Structure 1
Amino acid sequence: MTITPPAGLLSSPGPGLAVLDPTHTALFHGLDRLLSGLAEGLAAHEVLGPPLLPAEGLVRLDYFRNFPHLGVPVGRLSTDAYEALSDGGTPDGLPLSTTGYFLPSATCYGLLLALTGRDVGDSGLRLSGTGRCFRNETHYDGLRRLWGFHMREVIYLGTKDGAIEHLERGGEFVEQLADRLGLDLTRATADDPFYDRGTSRAKLMALDPVKHEYSAADGTAIASVNRHRNFFGERLGIRAGTSGPAHSSCVAFGVERWVHAMVLTHGSADAALAVLADV
């Protein structure tokens, strides 16, 4: 017996969560394969990041100073709480014990923390991966703003010039891929997430922007290029051979947001998938 899958997005299991039907899922995987072309062109190693991040590592990165609202902590329920749930109770008000871990809000954090104390050498290091990420938000809006989503990142660690060149090639890739997919993107300077606004780093960033976003026709940011200077190199003790603390940069893609942009531009998931097949 043939079962016809439902069309469009399936019913959400909760706020900020989405289940994609087969067509949207095919669009998701096809786009991620295209986005991985940047990693292939830059000879970045494909890796799989961790599902959890230690709070102590995030503290070293000023995460809770800059993003006190985004973090999603991981807790454990007591035996009594599980018994209450098994008896038909609700999770509201059940006591949680802390674990010291958070769900990742960006793919790069786990990869960078794993390189603590490492020397990436004079030639530098490039990594890429697609990770499941989570962010507490004030509101959720379809695939534009999710609680749980996928982010592909291509990261560089090495010299200052290498970090700049990484972003130049990343920006060219985004613009060329958007053109092939029929997407009209707008590039604009955005607030950098890594520097405390009250520091000298933030003042320098205002004079020399280090983050740019690419947005779809409705203003949804679907990609960004981010230059971290030597922030992570200094905080995590990552060196680049004789160059001292490593400079880093990354190109990030919100995969579900690319799905949204394709459907918005081409009118339906089926039409978007047809365009993708010709790229």
Structure 2
Amino acid sequence: MNTSSITALPGVELKSPGAGLITLDPVHTALLRGLDGLLSALAARLAAPEILGPPLLSVDGLARLDFFRNFPHLGVSAGRFGPEALDGLATGGAPQDLPLAPTGHLLPSATCYGLLLSLEGQDVGEDGLRVSSVGRCFRNETHYDGLRRLWGFHMREVLYLGTKDGASEHQERGGEFVQEVAGRLGLTLTRAAADDPFYDNGGSRARLMALDPVKFEYSAPDGTAIASVNRHRNFFGERLDIRAGSLGPAYSSCVAFGVERWVHAMILAHGTAESALDRLRSAADSFS
């Protein structure tokens, strides 16, 4: 883990750019970088190489994954100024008064979507495939609340595609890792089944969800969910023609960490960002 020893900006106060937006000072930034490094240990344990997903996702691709049926409220679209607006901008026109043209793309709301779409049509083999990635994610929320709920934030994920048993094992090992790291960091988390599957909430798959939960969240004492472990069954394998050799459509699962929310949980547990950073550094020295 690498965190800067400089944790202050003398005489400078960083202001919030707006609701749901935040600029992290040096100590909070050191916490975020250090926590992501610690959470990356799961990828190392599972031999999941690091990749970097695309910064934009096509609406056509997301539609094929039922994103808009399940999460119509979350999407943050990417627009651009068309040729007709350029003269106005160049002559000092107010950007907010000029139209934005749609691009057919959204900013990612979760890291795994870009990774999955990049694997469309691939055969991951019966031994399966694991990858890890961290990305900026964006969600159109009804309200924002400090580090607990942001418009843009970092999400670290470790994704598995392969067999049904492999997906279940990945989910189980991910949950064990979350609790292990939380214990070392002095965090007390509660585990509960979540109710936001990648499926139509009114369909038969939603009823199956009630019998066989596919997502569990791990929350801090104030109710902030800071990590989740998810099984997608073979939903993405079917929709994207991702195969596990002769076994047919691949099953998948992922472990996800909202890194800013881990920063929040650390400060909640240890009182100040400085104390939280001291605890992180102590835990990281003995963690592998």
- So what's the TM-score if we normalise by structure 2? 0.92
Structure 1 equivalent of residue 154 of structure 2: 150
- 8 Å Cα contact 1:9/1:20 also seen in 2: no
Which of 234, 244, 253 is the matching residue for 1:240? 244
Report whether the alignment pairs 1:222 with 2:217.
no
- Taking structure 1 as reference, are residues 7 and 193 closer, same or farther at Cα in structure 2, changes over 3 Å only? farther
Residue aligning to 2:54: 50
Amino acid at match of 1:40: A
Could you say if the C-alpha distance between residues 68 and 212 of structure 1 is closer, same or farther in structure 2, counting changes exceeding 3 Å?
Answer: same
Corresponding residue of 1:73: 77
- For the 8 Å contact 1:8–1:24, the answer to whether it is kept is no
Equivalent pairs counted in the alignment come to: 278
Cα offset for 1:10?
A: 2.6
Cα distance change on mapping 1:9 and 1:243 into 2, 3 Å: farther
Matched, 1:268 2:275: no
Distance 1:132 1:180 in 2: 26
Q: Which residue of 2 aligns with 1:125?
A: 129
Alignment of 1:170-209 (within 5 A): 170-209=174-213
The reply to whether residue 38 of structure 1 matches residue 24 of structure 2 is no
Letter in 2 for 1:44: A
1:79 is displaced (CA, Å) by 3.9
* 1:247 shift after superposition: 0.2
Whole-angstrom distance in 2 between the partners of 1:210 and 1:9: 43
Write the letter of the residue equivalent to 1:203.
Answer: R
Separation in 2, partners of 1:208, 1:8 = 51
CA distance in 1, matches of 2:151, 2:244: 35
Q: Could you state the TM-score of these two structures normalised by the residue count of structure 1? A: 0.95
Segments of 5+ residues of structure 1 without an aligned counterpart are none
| Residues 192 and 210 in structure 1, CA contact (< 8 A), matched pair in contact too | no
Between the aligned partners of 1:64 and 1:39, the Cα distance in structure 2 is 30
- SS of residue paired to 1:123: coil
Show CA shifts across 1:155-196 (max 9, x none). Answer: 000000000000110000000100000000010111133011
Q: Separation in 2 of the partners of 1:229 and 1:71? A: 24
| AA in 2 matched with 1:175 | Q
Deviations 1:220-276 (A, max 9, x none): 000000000000000000000121100000000000000010011101110000001
Q: Who is 2:142 aligned against?
A: 138
Over 3 Å counting, the alpha-carbon distance change for 1:80 and 1:154 in structure 2 is same
When the two chains are superposed, the root-mean-square deviation of aligned CA atoms in Å is 1.8
Stretch deviating more after TM superposition (192-201 or 21-30): 192-201
Question: The residue matched to 2:265 in structure 1 has which SS?
Answer: helix
The question of whether the paired residues in 2 share the 8 Å contact of 1:144 and 1:256 is answered with yes
Given that 2:138 and 2:152 are in contact with CA atoms closer than 8 Å, whether structure 1 keeps it comes out as: yes
The answer to whether the 8 Å contact 2:241/2:249 transfers is yes
Query: 1:277 is matched with which residue: 273, 281, 284?
Result: 281
Q: How far does residue 212 in structure 1 lie from its aligned partner after superposition? A: 0.6
Deviation at 1:93, TM superposition (A): 4.2
AA of the residue aligned to 2:195 = D
Q: Pairwise mapping of residues 250-269 of structure 1 onto structure 2 (< 5 A)?
A: 250-269=254-273
The 1:276/1:56 distance shift into structure 2, 3 A limit, reads: same
What amino acid sits opposite 1:146 in the alignment? L
* Contact 1:9–1:19 (Cα < 8 Å) also in 2: no
Is the Cα contact below 8 Å between 2:140 and 2:151 reproduced in 1? yes
Give the SS at the match of 2:124. Answer: coil
Equivalent-residue separation in structure 2 for 1:134 and 1:83 (angstroms):
30
